[in-house]
């Protein structure tokens, strides 16, 4: 089952702000496209814009059999659901692995000392799917 990441205005401004700012020099570069340095600048700016768009629209989570797969642009990984022992709902983790686009998501604790911050759009359905696969998970509300 696939879950899209929730988003909030803080992360949208963080992602789309630089994209909008880069559109200003992009228009100037397109006007001067005959200049060789303009072509290199165009490639760099388009790559940066593509990266931000990739992160914004390519952040999601998949629960597949006994694995939780997460993707956020170039950040990718999987977690064995049986190793998950605690979920802390509606809390934000400011350091560590954060394939998320919103605050007040879920801190997922697994193995002995590992944790990851995620922000599925439908937190309750996401937690229910995890509990179907591992009913030993403790769910805490923050």
CA distance 14 to 12: 5
Q: Are 51 and 90 found together in one domain?
A: no
Domain assignment present for 65: no
Among residues 59, 134, 57, 52, which one has the least CA distance to residue 108?
134
Domain assignment present for 45: yes
Count of domains forming the chain = 2
Tell me if residue 3 falls in helix, strand or coil. Answer: strand
Domain assignment of residue 136, given as a range: 81-141
Domain assignment present for 90: yes
Domain assignment present for 33: yes
Domain assignment present for 50: yes
Give the pairing of strands 84-91 and 138-141: parallel
Encode pLDDT of 58-98 as tens digits.
999 999 999 999 999 999 999 999 999 999 999 887 777 88
Q: What percent of the chain has pLDDT over 70?
A: 98
Domain assignment present for 66: no
Q: Are 89 and 137 found together in one domain?
A: yes
pTM: 0.85
**DSSP conformational letter for 101:** B
């Amino acid at each position: 089952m696939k879950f899209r990441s929730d988003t909030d205005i803080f992360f949208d401004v963080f992602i789309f702000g630089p994209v909008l700012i880069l559109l200003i020099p992009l228009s100037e570069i397109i006007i001067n496209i005959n200049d060789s340095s303009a072509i290199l600048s165009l490639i760099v700016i388009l790559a940066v814009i593509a990266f931000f768009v990739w992160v914004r629209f390519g952040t999601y989570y998949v629960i597949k059999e006994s694995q939780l797969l997460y993707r956020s642009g170039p950040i990718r990984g999987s977690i064995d659901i049986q190793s998950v022992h605690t979920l802390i709902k509606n809390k934000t983790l400011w350091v560590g692995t954060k394939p998320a686009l919103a605050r007040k998501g879920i801190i997922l604790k697994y193995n002995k000392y590992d944790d990851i911050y995620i922000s599925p759009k439908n937190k309750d359905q996401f937690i229910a799917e995890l509990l179907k696969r591992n009913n030993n998970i403790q769910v805490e509300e923050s």
